[in-house]
Amino acid sequence: MKQRRALRVMVALASLAIAGLASAAIDEGALRRGEQVYARCAACHAVESNRTGPRHCGLFGRRAGTAPGYTMYSQALRNSRIVWDARSLDVFLQDPMKTVPGTTMGYAGVKDPKERGDLIAWLRESTRAGQSCKLGQ
């Protein structure tokens, strides 16, 4: 009896895992649109190298104000205690100067929630350190 129940639980968990993988499938359209939105960022940022703004390689899970080799952060951003994930990026990208008063990122933000979502999806895929981008630059 206990073995049957354990087997049913294992089958249910496996089904949930498979369903989760299917729902996590990459939306290629969102990635294309996100890359187009990122073009607005390219005046100051790049994925693989620091420019006027810090590189985005390894962005997710990194604490704000800590990109390797980038030294021009505002005190406000360094002290913000933000850790970059989809939620914190969504809030910050909507209005950087309101989210972190005193930031030197003088950009009005990405006001359209769909554009922000597409941008964040693209950033998640294109900034994975050691996978899609190079940390050595």
pTM higher than the cut 0.85: no
Q: What domains lie within the chain, and their CATH numbers?
A: 28-126 (1.10.760.10)
For the chain, what is the largest distance between any 2 Cα atoms, rounded to a whole number of angstroms? 65
Radius of gyration of the chain (CA): 19
Q: Is pLDDT above 60 for 17?
A: no
Interval 112-130 mean pLDDT: 93
Q: Is pLDDT above 70 for 40?
A: yes
Residue with the bigger pLDDT between 137 and 116: it is 116
What is the Cβ-side half-sphere exposure of residue 81, based on CA atoms within 13 angstroms?
0
What is the Cβ-side half-sphere exposure of residue 63, based on CA atoms within 13 angstroms?
6
